[in-house]
Structure 1
Amino acid sequence: MQLQGKTALVTGGTDGIGGHLIRQLRGKGVTVITQGRNPERCAATRADRFEVIEADLGAQAGIDAVLAALSGRQIDILINNAGAGVDHDFRDPGLPDLAAADATIFLNLNAPIHLITALMPVLKSRPEAMIVNVTSGLAIAPRAGGPVYCATKAALRSYSQALRAQLKGTTVHVLEALPPVVETKLTAGRGNRKMPPEECARQIVSGIESNADEVNVGAVKVLQLVHSISPALARSIMLRF
């Protein structure tokens, strides 16, 4: 995809991987609209001359707010990057928080599906368009401590694959990006061997430019290789992660 002159909506663009995505895309000549839910980070991103929609995509009201703000706008690229994790481990004291699990499922899975559905007519009207769904290496094989997060990413991976098949022959391409453990607030306290978010974003942008179907970022390349040889071995490794 030729990025110069395109317009992109990037969810979760006020922090982490998304914060680097919006800056790298702007550097390629893309007009970027982004979304965030933290008022301070939204304000800081606006101060850096980005258009920011403040909305919480963990609920339907947030979806409605984003779509209202985009009314009548032409969008060439939709990047579903916003995501969150949630503790859901029965080995810990007490029971998991089901309200938090529901909000995570909505943010990680329902929100991308809602945005894709609402924006599909706009995307199909463009000469060249792309949907980028940011999943995770954990969509390939889960870790034991994060079953809700892993399930949402595996579901979005399956959705992306089916959607790509549906849109074959149209002007809308579907790219799935699978990051490894990246240095963000989401992964705080989880080891030291993490990919810098700017490098993760660089590889995703490169995948957009090359019209890739998948971008296996960093160590996910190794996980994908192991999974192709032995899915059971990949699961065994990741469940201990």
Structure 2
Amino acid sequence: MKYVRITSIDNPLFAKMYELLQTVFPEEEVLEFELWKEPLQDPNLRVCVAVLDDHVVGATEYRYYPDMNVAMTDFTIIGKEGLGIGRFLMEHREKDLLDMAAKHGNKLLGMFAEIYDPYRVQDHSFGGIKPMDPYVRREVLSHIGYRKLNFPYVHPSWKNDGEAVSALDFCFLSYSHKGDSLPADLIVRFLQTYYAILPNKSDAWHDMIKNLKTKTEVELLPI
């Protein structure tokens, strides 16, 4: 199995990965094909695939923000069971992120992730791929060390239609960060930066940001 970074939508592996994205995730979670062109060229963003016999059997997207010294894992897709794809992707992603932080003279603070809460919404089929079952994913991410940030979370739809997407928790995996809370201003700064690409945001999202700005710290809870 090979770990391959994709830097162009013209790479044939990107089309294969995008098809996997559309199979696994609901429409509002998938950015339009052409809109990937510029992000793929960002030196601090990675879209990487697990390739086996010329087939894309898994994928992960993540990014590093040197000015905040945090990372974000956008998605991890396991396209086939029984191959150890999840661990393969996690190990390569972690090494890459730690290397990126070190090149900026940092020890990675931690990594954000949006994690589905299947106990609130149970209709995510994820393309019928069992390792992608939200109950399984949630427990795996808990084992890795992710904790949820204690505030009601919504994010803008990737369809850029101004709708709010809920039934997810905003979570954080600590690396060099110590403690059971995270500064609220870091969360606000990150979310405003991360979703700057989507100009159409719901009132619910703006209210969430406004409420976060009234806080000093946000508690980290088990998931």
* TM bucket, shorter chain: 0.3 to 0.5
Normalising by the residue count of structure 2, what TM-score does the alignment of the two structures yield?
0.36
Normalising by the residue count of structure 1, what TM-score does the alignment of the two structures yield?
0.34
Whose strand fraction is larger, Structure 1's or Structure 2's? Answer: 2
Whose helix fraction is larger, Structure 1's or Structure 2's? Answer: 1
